[in-house]
Structure 1
Amino acid sequence: MGESWWDFIASELRQARIRAGLSQEDLAKRINYSASHVSGVETGQRPPKADYLAAMDDALKTGGMFGRMLRRASLVEGTPPWLRAWIENEREATLLRWYEPAYVPGLLQTEAYARMTLANGLLTAEEIEQRVASRLERQAILTREHPCQIVTVLDVMVLRRPINGQPGVMGEQLAHLVKTAELPHVQILVVTEDAGLYPALQGGFILATLGDGSVLAHLDHQVRAQVVNQPDDVATLQRQWEAVRGEALSRRQSLELIKEVAQTWT
Structure 2
Amino acid sequence: MATAGISNKGLAARFHVDRSTVSRWRHDHNLPDRALVEQIDTALGIGGHLVRAWQVQTTGSVLADWRKSEPELDRAARVIEMLSPNYVPGLLQCRVYVEHVLRECVYPGDDDDIRREVTRKSGRYPTLRATSNALVVAVFPVVGLLGVPTHVRVVQVHHLVKAIDDGRLIVHLLPENTMATTVAPLTIYHLADGGTAAIGDGVSGMLDYSTPGKLPLMVERMKRALGWALPPDQSRTLMEGMIH
TM range (shorter): 0.5 to 0.7
Q: Which has the higher contact order (CA 8 A, sep 6+)?
A: 2
In 2, are the aligned partners of 1:86 and 1:227 still within 8 Å (CA)?
no
SS of the residue aligned with 2:130?
coil
Rate the CA distance shift 1:115–1:198 in 2: closer, same or farther, 3 A: closer
Higher helix share: 1
TM-aligned CA deviation for residue 169 of structure 1: 1.7
Q: Does structure 1 residue 118 correspond to structure 2 residue 87?
A: no
TM-score by length of 2: 0.66
Structure 2 counterpart of 1:160, from 146, 163, 167: 146
User: Partners of 1:138 and 1:123 in 2: how far apart?
Assistant: 21
Alpha carbons 1:93, 1:208 under 8 Å: kept: yes
The question of whether the paired residues in 2 share the 8 Å contact of 1:111 and 1:136 is answered with yes
Contact 1:142–1:149 (Cα < 8 Å) also in 2: no
User: How do 1:1-266 and structure 2 match up within 5 A?
Assistant: 85-119=69-103, 120-144=106-130, 147-162=133-148, 166-193=149-176, 196-198=177-179, 200-263=181-244
**Partners of 1:126 and 1:99 in 2: how far apart?**
29
Deviating beyond 4 angstroms after TM superposition, the runs of 4 or more aligned structure 1 residues are none
**Matched residues, percent identical?**
23
Cα distance in 2, alignment partners of residues 237 and 116 from structure 1: 29
* Cα displacement string for residues 144-186 of structure 1 (whole angstroms, at most 9, x for unaligned residues): 2751110011111112112xxx421221111211222222121
Tell me how far apart the structure 1 counterparts of residues 98 and 68 of structure 2 sit (CA, whole Å).
Answer: 18
Q: CA deviation at 1:93?
A: 0.9
Output the CA distance in 2 between the equivalents of 1:231 and 1:201.
Answer: 19
Whole-Å Cα distance in 2 between the matches of residues 197 and 167 of structure 1? 23
CA distance in 2, matches of 1:251, 1:122: 36
Unmatched segments (≥5 aa) in structure 2: 1-66
**1:49-106 Cα deviation digits (max 9, x unpaired):** xxxxxxxxxxxxxxxxxxxxxxxxxxxxxxxxxx972321122111100011211112
* Gaps in structure 1 of 5+ consecutive residues: 1-82
CA positional deviation for 1:252: 0.7
Distance 1:145 1:86, change over 3 A: closer
Deviations 1:95-122 (A, max 9, x none): 1000112111122111111122222241
Identify if the C-alpha distance between structure 1 residues 88 and 146 changes in structure 2 by more than 3 Å, giving closer, same or farther.
Answer: closer
Does structure 2 conserve the Cα–Cα contact (< 8 Å) formed by 1:206 and 1:218?
yes
Question: Does the residue aligned with 2:123 lie in a helix, a strand or coil?
Answer: helix
Partners of 2:196 and 2:116 lie apart in 1 by: 29
Note the aligned Cα RMSD (angstroms): 2.2
CA distance in 1 between counterparts of 2:159 and 2:178 reads 28
Shift in CA distance, 244/121, structure 1 to aligned 2, threshold 3 Å? closer
CA distance in 1, matches of 2:168, 2:94: 19
Counting matched residue pairs gives: 177
For 1:189 and 1:197, locate their aligned partners in 2 and report how far apart those are by CA, in whole Å.
12
**CA distance in 1: counterparts of 2:83 and 2:218, whole angstroms:** 10
Alpha-carbon displacement from aligned partner over 1:222-265 (angstroms, at most 9, x marks no partner):
232212220221110101111110011111111001111233xx
Distance 1:178 1:209 in 2: 23
